[in-house]
Amino acid sequence: MTKIFTYIGILFIYLISLLPHWILYGISDFFYLLIYHLFGYRKKVVRENLLNSFPEKSTAELRSFERKFFRNLTDVMVETIKEFTISTKEIKKRYQFINPSVFQHHFDQGKSVMMLMGHYSNWEYGVTAPLWVPQDCWAVYGKIENPVMDKYLVRTRQRFGFTLYPMEETYNVMLSHQQGQKLYMFMADQSPHHGKIKYWLNFLNQETPVHLGAEKLSKMLDLAIVFIDIQRVKRGYYQITATTLYEDAKSTSEYEITHRYFEILESIIRKKPENWLWSHKRWKYKKGVKY
């Protein structure tokens, strides 16, 4: 019975994804009213995160960020659904890669790349990277409990050329598939499990536990480090800019890559706070507290 409902759900999502963008954004506006005004989805979490990150801002400014965040969130939701059936031609029309030559440079140098990004703007469109870069593209994903839905989501996210592997297999997959030039996509801005916290730094005015996996793997595999910044030009249209942080990860000191990643991400967030994923419980663990 569960499988039947799953297949019905997948069919429903597929049919919605066939709708034109203008209708999808009407649905997004409706979702915004439901999620923000009616149900208040994680509004307390968002409000607390914004207040602690920007104590210098007025209440009016913080509420503006809050409302804009939820509008961004519902747009990302419908754009993710559209991703199930959107054509390559439409993707290239709506998602402009400003300087893919950055990746071509590393490819020509015989280097594989660690592509770092945050849950900012429409981070889901990161799966379209294979349309612009010469490397074989690999990305980690978190498995969901429903195996039918999990298989469908993986297949959908691989349709532009990514190879996905489960989060728990990250080290094994990356260390055992080193042949050829690859691009590994990592989003390292969420909170690690309390049992895996090894390092803290100051991020958005708060002591923050951080993942170290991207830095460790970059050094182990001698990767180049590239950060990508995704900015919305207008509703439904984005530009991505790539910046090389390090040509050679091995040449960096301990925690240098991690600090630089969060410094750049914070500078981007401060320019347009509404575009980051504030509903994530990023600071649920406090330094010095045992869990």
**Which pLDDT score is estimated for 217?**
94
pLDDT mean over 257-261? 97
Q: Is the separation of the CB atoms in 186 and 274 below 8 Å?
A: no
> Of 65, 85, 105, which residue sits at a domain end?
85
Q: Same domain, yes or no, for 223 and 257? A: yes
pLDDT mean over 226-247? 95
Domain assignment present for 286: no
pLDDT mean over 203-232? 95
pLDDT digits (tens, 9 = 90+) for 89-146: 999 999 999 999 999 999 999 999 999 999 999 998 888 899 999 999 998 887 777 8
Q: Is the separation of the CB atoms in 234 and 72 below 8 Å?
A: no
Say if residue 203's pLDDT is above 70.
Answer: yes
**Which pLDDT score is estimated for 235?**
95
Burial pattern 19-51, b for ≥16 Cβ within 10 A else e, equals: bebeebbeebeebbeebbeeeebbeebbbebbe
Tokens describing residue 169: 């297999």
Q: Same domain, yes or no, for 39 and 78? A: yes
Q: Same domain, yes or no, for 75 and 114? A: no
The dihedral formed by the CA atoms of 82, 85, 86 and 88, expressed in degrees to the nearest 10: 150
Q: Same domain, yes or no, for 241 and 131? A: yes
Domain assignment present for 77: yes
**Which pLDDT score is estimated for 212?**
95
Give the residue, 287 or 46, on which the prediction is more confident: 46
Of the listed ranges 18-22, 63-67, 132-136, 177-181, the least confidently predicted one is: 177-181
Rounded to whole angstroms, how far apart are CA atoms 177 and 146? Answer: 28
Percentage, residues of the chain above pLDDT 90: 74
- Average pLDDT value for the chain: 92
By CB atoms closer than 10 A (0-12, 13-18, 19+), residue 159 is middle
Q: Same domain, yes or no, for 122 and 48? A: no
Q: Same domain, yes or no, for 48 and 107? A: no
Rounded to whole angstroms, how far apart are CA atoms 138 and 234? Answer: 29
Q: Same domain, yes or no, for 32 and 117? A: no
Backbone phi, then psi, for 168, in 5-degree steps? Answer: -70, -10
Beta carbons within 8 Å of 121's beta carbon, 6+ residues apart = 72, 230, 231, 232, 238, 275
> Of 85, 103, 136, which residue sits at a domain end?
85
Q: How many domains does the chain have?
A: 2
Domain assignment present for 290: no
**Which pLDDT score is estimated for 157?**
81
**Which pLDDT score is estimated for 158?**
86
By CB atoms closer than 10 A (0-12, 13-18, 19+), residue 155 is exposed
pLDDT mean over 188-204? 92
pLDDT digits (tens, 9 = 90+) for 52-97: 999 999 999 999 999 999 999 999 999 999 988 999 999 999 999 9
Q: Is the separation of the CB atoms in 205 and 50 below 8 Å?
A: no
Q: Same domain, yes or no, for 224 and 202? A: yes
Q: Same domain, yes or no, for 71 and 143? A: no
**Which pLDDT score is estimated for 248?**
94
**Which pLDDT score is estimated for 195?**
86
pLDDT band, very low/low/confident/very high, at 233 (cuts 50, 70, 90): very high
Q: Same domain, yes or no, for 73 and 160? A: no
Tokens describing residue 5: 């409902």
Q: Same domain, yes or no, for 102 and 235? A: yes
**Which pLDDT score is estimated for 251?**
92
Say if residue 165's pLDDT is above 90.
Answer: no
Percentage, residues of the chain above pLDDT 70: 100
**Which pLDDT score is estimated for 43?**
96
**Which pLDDT score is estimated for 11?**
87
Domain assignment present for 287: no
Domain assignment present for 25: yes
Domain assignment present for 282: no
**Which pLDDT score is estimated for 1?**
61
Q: Same domain, yes or no, for 153 and 243? A: yes
**Which pLDDT score is estimated for 178?**
82
Say if residue 175's pLDDT is above 80.
Answer: yes
- Which residue segment(s) compose the domain that 98 sits in? 91-277
